[in-house]
A and B are shown apart, each in its own frame.
Chain A
Amino acid sequence: MTEISLADGSAMQDAPPAPVRRYRLPLDWLGVVPFLIFALMFLILPTTYLVVGAFQNDQGEITFDNILALSAPSIVSAYWISIRISLASAVLGGVVGLAMAVAISRGGLPPWLRSATVTFSGVASNFAGVPLAFAFIATLGRLGLLTVLLNNWLGVNIYSLGFNLLSFWGLTLTYLYFQIPLMLVIITPAVDGLKKEWGEAAAMLGATTWQYWRMVVIPVLWPSFLGTVLLLFANAFGAIATAYALTGSQLNIVPILLYAQIRGDVLHNPHLGYALAFGMIFITGVANIFYIWFRARSDRWLK
């Protein structure tokens, strides 16, 4: 006992009371430098280049002329169609996706159907672009299977009724093929987060099913729903491949206009092209900011 404590004492005297301090440079941040350089070079700077360009004229002077020039009727109508298609496909996709999520999560369907639906949704939400356009042409094009069958069996010619795949509703219907599954994939966890006990507690307190939905379920799901709808909106707004493969350049939506501008400066003003791109970032950016905001709110509740 004594020996040990003596040894401890001498050790204490040798060593300074504070532990040895090695002055290390704060080099931790070096570990993320490659990533930051990549993001800066290939994500942030190219975007900034366009945004800055949107506020410059050919001489490099700051100007709002390009932004103001977006008010040309053809450009405004392109934005307007884009916004309408994105909004329609986002809202419809959102409502249907939510209904399907509720059906597979709460509707008492067999479990294998649920997992099959979720797997399929993962596939369908990534099945966008050119092949999706082909699939819809084969289904609802002038010679599509469904068009022909409706005509042969029911005598309904949907094209003579005013339907056209290369139109607003045609494109919206096509976009729903990836919008609905995307909604389903994102919202299903939120629907699963509705606790069975909430319904039981509400029933114990005398609430009817409708009162429970109105006072608890809808308010709880609302932020996730709205947030995801905004995400779907941004998703549709930036999409081009499906629309381009479906309609060529017939349908005047912003991404197709921008595509044509990049290819051949159809606007005859490079800076107007930048402004067009800036407008797209602005719209998807606003949608995403609200998405994040709504998301944070519902995460807090459903923790």
Chain B
Amino acid sequence: MKIKKLPKMIISLNKDSIPVSKEQDAVFLKNRVREVAVKIKMGLVNQTRLITAASELVRNMLRYGNGGICLIEVVSSGRINGVRLTFSDKGPGIADISQAMRDGFSTGKSLGLGLPGAKRLVNEFDIKSKVGEGTTITILKWANG
């Protein structure tokens, strides 16, 4: 009897999953993300934000999670389209997520900008992690957002 409000829903239109196990895979992944972003007419600056965020996350996945899988989706909500990326690994997981999300924190020798920086570059950011089981990070960038 109810009429569902369509604009609130996000519909997945197109899926592609890419395994990442070595550094060259990251280059391929970034090119693939760019192709998808261009296809939905994402502006150059937003493309750059999205790919840079992807670059940060794929490096984390290679460095800390022993590689994993990245799912690329074109999503739609009402009149706008976007790209959603889901990075899943079966690595050691993150014990303290809020610590990992803080600027300048790193267990490795990096600047510690990867996770918080990636979050600032996209519209939606979600992280789930279980110690000993792995980490899943989902980011979403709207074409005009």
Do A and B make up one complex?
Answer: no
Residues of B within 8 A of A (CB): none
